[in-house]
Amino acid sequence: MQEADVVKPKKNIGAGRQCTICNQRRAALKRPKTLEQICRECFYVVFEEEIHRVIVDNQLFKPGERIAIGASGGKDSTVLAYVLSELNRRHNYELDLFLLSVDEGITGYRDDSLETVKRNEIQYGLPLKVVSYKELYGWTMDEIVKMIGLKNNCTFCGVFRRQALDRGAALLKVDKLATGHNADDIAETVLLNILRGDIARLSRCTSITTGEDGPIPRCKPFKYTYEKEIVMYAYFKRLDYFSTECIYSPNAYRGFAREFIKDLERIRPSAILDIIKSGEDFRISTSTKMPEQGTCERCGYISSQKWCKACILLEGLNRGLPKLGIGRSRGITTDRSNDMKQSNGIKNIQSKQCGTLDF
């Protein structure tokens, strides 16, 4: 054999490196957030302890509170349910925890993910409440997409889901709603609000607790937790979660911000936390006119307009004009007499109202 044909074995760089925290066990992963090489056991400890510190430092919960966990069956909400259950027992938070899911009516996606949530209900011993778009609004997302198409469908889903979670939380009579929004999600939202020029949302999107002046406050225990570390935790713990992406989301505007964030993270891992810090430090000029929060004249939900966004979207769907609520909603009539009219054979909007919230 000629010398050129000899294949020299490559050195396994990093093989056998010790955990930088305990210096006893072999490192199993490099933390995306800090780039530390640590073992699984230490990863579990620091991951859970960081979330515990966020909860304590920000006083997210009070003893005796009823907390609903927004559960989709995905990695974020599944890890949140597991970790909150563990921390609640370990640190004696004295919380009553519940799982709250929304069935948007997406065949081949949500029906499958809800099965995962139902298994989580048994695995974690947490009561589950499911509310559906069909029951609340008279429409499923499959039906909405047939009418509106693949463009702008995420607008409907996002608006309806937000209100559906609040209504489910009201039925459970909880004090707060905990969601699995992670650091990546919040950084994406900061960028989206800058790109859209949405000053009102930009001023509050980095808040760890929102809606304190609304029906149900929402909190984000994963505000500083990287998505990659949530995935690693779920993988190493062998948690039961649903990993398929929504079939209607590939064209979502948020996807472009998500890809940009991932590119930044590859160059500099701290970019995610830096964007969040920038969002926290934004100051809105005193001369900037901000929307005044009130209540929807039709359903009673919080709104800065006469009608909330959900009612406007429903008006368009039920009148056969699905694009009515897309973009700016100025000029949309809220005259009661219009509610009684039929339009192109489409069922009257009064047949399925957005619904008055009972708080």
Domains of the chain by residue range: 55-282
Which token pair is 352? Answer: 């399925």
Query: Among all chains, which residue has been given the structure tokens 């004009």?
Result: 321
Alpha helix positions (H), the chain: 40-57, 75-90, 110-124, 133-137, 141-148, 153-172, 183-196, 199-202, 227-236, 254-267, 271-281, 309-318, 336-339
Q: What tens digit of pLDDT does each residue of 77-106 get?
A: 999 999 999 999 999 999 999 999 999 999
**Band of residue 327 on the pLDDT scale cut at 50, 70, 90:** low
pLDDT of 169-194, one tens digit each?
A: 999 999 999 999 999 999 999 999 88
pLDDT confidence of residue 319 = 87
Q: Supply the pLDDT for residue 342.
A: 34
pLDDT tens string 30-52: 999 999 999 999 999 999 999 99
Q: b/e for 47-75, b at 16 or more Cβ within 10 A?
A: bbebbbebbeeeebbeeeeebbbbbbbbb
Range 55-282: architecture per CATH: 3-Layer(aba) Sandwich (3.40)
Bin 16: left if φ > 0, else alpha if -120 < ψ < 50, else beta: left
Helix (H, G, I), strand (E, B) or coil at 309: helix
Residues flagged as binding site for ATP: 70-72, 76, 102, 180, 185
Q: State yes or no: pLDDT of 293 exceeds 80.
A: no
- CA dist 309 and 7 (Å) reads 65
For the segment 202-251, what is each residue's pLDDT rounded down to a tens digit?
888 899 999 877 779 999 999 999 999 999 999 999 999 998 888 887 66
Annotated binding site: 70-72, 76, 102, 180, 185
Q: Encoding tokens for residue 273?
A: 């936390």
Residue pair 124/81 in contact (Cβ under 8 Å)? The answer is: yes
